[in-house]
Amino acid sequence: MNKNIAIAGVTGAVGQEFLAILEERDFPFASIKMLASIRSAGKKLTFKGKEYTVEEMTNDSFDGVDIALFSAGGGRSKEFAPAVVKAGCVMVDNSSAFRMDPEVPLVIPEINPEAIAANKGIIANPNCSTIIANVPVYPLHKANPVKRMIISTYQAASGAGQAAMLELKQQAAEILEGKEPTISALGYQLAFNVYNHDSALQANGYNEEEMKMVHETRKIFSCQDIAITCTCVRVPVLRAHCESINLEFENPITPQQVTELLSTAPGVAILDDRENNRHPMPIDASGKDDVYVGRIRQDESIPDNRGINIWVAGDQLRKGAALNAVQIAEKLL
């Protein structure tokens, strides 16, 4: 039976990506509500050839709705979660509001789809960098347990929202014209620059994004023993994150074995052309569903061939956010 669905935060970057992916995948629905803040209420959106009016999100918005895809920010998710659950609707939430709640499943469908069944009205979408890293890492971990992960991220402006993407374009134009760059949506000049991820620094010196990756990976893998350390930075790319991932395994493993395992892994595409030095780039992953993997090589600093380096690129708005949530919704069907 087709479901009644709602998109919360529909006018944002992820909200717009929700609509594109629902249409591409021909998601079966009986009705759809377009929800946003009062500022966007009244706007007209076209979806699958039909015009819809954006409604202000209220506690009554979820009456009769079966699945609500949320990308309206953590505060709004927490505010409306009680109303969503009371209405008998399932919230698939893209914010960090509920990810570490032990009562809320944290799901990457390629890894732990079975967790969806335990939901009590809320399912959390992991952090974008967590998803992009772990779609390729989990098949390796399943075959040969990972003892330690060292991750360095190169994160696109899209992770900071639509305004940040527009500001990156604006900054680049301003700098090329010899003007001072506008700094409003972003913490610093991002055009022609790289800086520490713009999430809050914690008492341990790590930023919030880095700690999200640590805690979320352990929860998704159901493995608290993995040693994980991360460095997350923002780079002047519009919408695809890249990550350098160093893995230490329990048992020996070769690049050839890694390539074989990933060649059949769901959601993974291998782009590892050593002869032409052609490996995953943001322009490869932008607009694509798969996480691209390359630079597959032995870490020669780890004894007994137990270390591997890989380089990945994934679209932050798609698999890192909207696509993962839509895949969860498809499982709910």
3-state secondary structure of 123: strand
Tell me, rounded to whole angstroms, the distance of Cα 302 from its chain centroid: 30
Distance, CA of 6 to CA of 270 (rounded, Å): 35
3-state secondary structure of 232: strand
Q: Is 128 designated active site?
A: yes
CA–CA distances in Å: residue 146 to residues 174, 181, 222, 260, 297: 45, 43, 12, 17, 16
Neighbouring residues of 221: CB distance < 8 A, sequence distance ≥ 6: 111, 134, 138, 141
Burial class (CB in 10 A: 0-12, 13-18, 19+), 27: buried
Ordered DSSP codes for 254-308: -HHHHHHHHHTSTTEEE--BTTTTB---HHHHTT-SSEEEEEEEE-TTSGGG-EE
Structure tokens at 230: 């991360």
Torsion of CA 105, 108, 109, 113, to 10 degrees: -30
**The one-letter amino acid at 100:** M
State the catalytic residue, choosing from 89, 141, 232, 241: 241
Q: Is 242 designated active site?
A: no
State the catalytic residue, choosing from 128, 230, 232, 242: 128
The residues that bridge with 195 in the sheet, in sequence order, are 234
What b-and-e string marks burial along 299-322, b requiring 16 or more CB atoms within 10 Å of the CB? eeebeebbbbbbbbbbbbbbbbbb
Which residues are identified as catalytic? 128, 241
